[in-house]
Structure 1
Amino acid sequence: MAYQTIPVTPFSQNCSLIWCDKTNEAAIVDPGGDAPTIIAAVERKRLEIKYVLLTHGHLDHAGATLEIAEYFKVPVWGPHIADKFWLDSLAQQCQLFGFLAQQSKMFGFSQVEPVIPDRWLNNDEAIHIGQLTLQVKHCPGHTPGHVIFIDNEHHLAWVGDVLFHNSVGRTDFPQGSHPDLIASIKNNLLSLDDDYVFIPGHGPESTIGAERSHNPFLQ
């Protein structure tokens, strides 16, 4: 398997391309904005996009979803249905995150409209990308419908805003819950082996072992 992290938006959100290097089938995880940058990366690698996958409904993770899905003519899968209210309110989130709606395009959010996924995701579902399999885990806390994607064969995980290097996701947004977030991390991430690498929604990659040992929020 292979993947590429593409920082997008003023929030340096880690959009990811994940692909099977045997079939060239691919998925785009969290196209938060800067759609032309994402499209160019896909076309340079000549990948066949199968899905857009969303970890949660915040603007910086879902802001370019409609443009990307329409360009590649692919369905949108995820997050869990508990994040429907976030995806319904993407235009209003411009103000929540400090942008006026008319400024959104300038900041990389090209079509800030409600997103209705083609499929909501549930805990322990499997997503197949060529010969790759991603396991879905529902991880509420940062948002109530947050999901993560785990490749157990290659010990990789895409965790959105659940866990970061030496930090964890914010829980001060509507329906956030710090106890739920910590429980999600302990049950779904700290249960993995130490050598699992995770790609967070922002910032550098890390490993489960490093966070288990050194993350001050998990001690």
Structure 2
Amino acid sequence: MKYQIVPVTPFQQNCSIIWCEKTKQAAVVDPGGDIERIQQQLAHHGLTLEKILLTHGHIDHVGGAKALADAAGVPIIGPHKDDAFWLETLPQQSKHFGFLPVAAFEPAQYLISGDRVTVGEQTLEVLHCPGHTPGHIVFYSEADKLAWVGDVLFKGSIGRTDFPQSSHTDLINSITQVLWPLGREVSFIPGHGPISTFGAERQQNPFVADQLLN
């Protein structure tokens, strides 16, 4: 599976275009905004967008989802239904964070742990990882040992848990009980900042390093 990170919004959120090399079918993960830039990259690589995938309901991750979906005639998939209230409050989020107005929307499908999402002939596993938000999910490519983790985990940090229905305990459990078992060699693309590996974070992350939690 190929991918390209396209930083979007003033928050420099790591929107990802992911695609199947054989079929040139693509998905966009977390199009928070700047959809013209995303569309330009889809065209540059000769890709056909087939779906939009959302990790969670915060505006910097979903603010451009409905506009991109409508323009391409494709469905929005995810996150978990426990983030429905975030999608319902997008008009308030846009005002609070100084974004252009964004209307509430409902995805074509909510996801749960164990679901699988296809991109062309490639498959992503769905993992429910609550904490930053209650309905946060992670997309994992076992074949590529690569995970799109949204705002669960970052290089050297973890997601905020000061939002409504956030839980620090749930977040730590999601990282240590859901992500770590995937393997130290797994690379991850966070919602913000540089790529890292689970092994590096288990060794060095000041919030979830093994020596801090054992």
TM-score, normalised to structure 2, is: 0.96
Alignment equivalent of 1:130, drawn from 112, 120, 129: 120
Is this contact kept in 2: 1:9–1:33, CA < 8 A?
Answer: yes
CA deviation vs aligned residue, 1:20-50 (integer Å, no higher than 9, x gap): 1011111000000111111111111111111
> What do you get for the CA RMSD once the two structures are aligned?
0.9
Alignment of 1:7-26 (within 5 A): 7-26=7-26
SS of corresponding position for 1:122 = coil
SS of corresponding position for 1:191 = helix
Query: Which 5+ residue runs of structure 1 have no aligned equivalent?
Result: 106-110
Q: Sequence identity of aligned pairs in percent?
A: 52
Alignment equivalent of 2:170, drawn from 168, 172, 180: 180
Offset of residue 122 of structure 1: 0.7
- Aligned match of 1:202: 192
Offset of residue 171 of structure 1: 0.4
Alignment of 1:1-219 (within 5 A): 1-97=1-97, 99=98, 104-105=99-100, 112-218=102-208, 219=212
CA deviation vs aligned residue, 1:30-80 (integer Å, no higher than 9, x gap): 000111111111111111111100000000000001110011110000000
Name the CA distance, whole Å, in 1 between partners of 2:203 and 2:178.
Answer: 16
Is this contact kept in 2: 1:65–1:115, CA < 8 A?
Answer: no
Offset of residue 96 of structure 1: 2.9
Name the CA distance, whole Å, in 1 between partners of 2:95 and 2:133.
Answer: 18
Query: Which 5+ residue runs of structure 2 have no aligned equivalent?
Result: none
Offset of residue 166 of structure 1: 0.6
Name the CA distance, whole Å, in 1 between partners of 2:49 and 2:35.
Answer: 14
SS of corresponding position for 2:112 = coil
Name the CA distance, whole Å, in 1 between partners of 2:130 and 2:50.
Answer: 26
Name the CA distance, whole Å, in 2 between partners of 1:116 and 1:9.
Answer: 21
Number of residue-to-residue matches in the alignment: 209
TM-score, normalised to structure 1, is: 0.93
Name the CA distance, whole Å, in 2 between partners of 1:168 and 1:115.
Answer: 28
Offset of residue 130 of structure 1: 1.5
Name the CA distance, whole Å, in 2 between partners of 1:4 and 1:21.
Answer: 13
Name the CA distance, whole Å, in 1 between partners of 2:182 and 2:116.
Answer: 17
